[in-house]
Amino acid sequence: MDSFTVNLVGVRGVGRSSLAQQLSVNFIDDNFGIPEACLLTIVVVDTLPCLLYLYVLAEDYFDNDRPGMSIHLKEFHRKSIEKGNGFLLVYSVTSRATFERLEYFHQRIVHTKGNIPRIIFVGNKSDRNFSREVSKVGGEQLAAQFGSSFIETSAKTAQNVDAAFADLVRDFRAQKRDEERNVVDRKAERKKRCIIL
């Protein structure tokens, strides 16, 4: 079974934990020594099961220079990002301020990882159209600016929650197949260059 690590990033109150808990139908209760900030769940994507480690990271984790932040917390933050196969950058469509923080989070993730990982921008609380402050087009444009995907979800109604995680899993699997293919190609290339005398 495939296993991947997904970090859900955003300011407090945007619904990161609620999105993760929507997958709780298959939630594994025993944490097997995993830090408490991690949820372990199994999802089925395209008829294949996948184990997901879901880390719910708040804004605090990105402010490493904050006075009083413990060394343990800084290290947990760094390792969570480094190990992350992908990221859901979550904001509330009802709060422009949460949307405006996404660029900062994106920069910190890229800086910490040293590359650009798979990122999906997620506009949560789409069920609250009556108090919307961020248009769907605005979310799509920001995601496109960073070469990322975009989806609107509602953790309350579960709208598109499975789709957001399924998209990441499909991308992870495609990347894994590409990496395996590259290894096979490199081995075949080395064999071509081998000369037996």
Task: Look up the CATH number of the domain holding residue 114.
Answer: 3.40.50.300
Ordered per-residue pLDDT tens for the chain, 197 residues:
888 889 999 988 898 888 888 876 545 444 444 444 678 888 889 999 988 888 887 676 666 566 666 677 677 777 888 888 899 999 999 999 999 999 999 998 998 888 888 999 999 999 998 999 999 999 999 999 999 999 999 999 989 999 999 998 998 898 888 888 877 666 667 666 655 66
**Lookup: tokens for 55:** 């880390």
Angle at CA of residue 4, ends 110 and 66, nearest 5°: 40
What pLDDT is attached to residue 97?
Answer: 95
Give how many domains the chain has, as a whole number.
1
- Give the residue numbers spanning the domain of 156: 2-193
Tokens of 114: 């040293």
Q: Sign of torsion, CA 122 106 62 79?
A: positive
pLDDT at 190: 67
In eight-state DSSP terms, residue 111 is H
- What does the pLDDT read at residue 191? 65
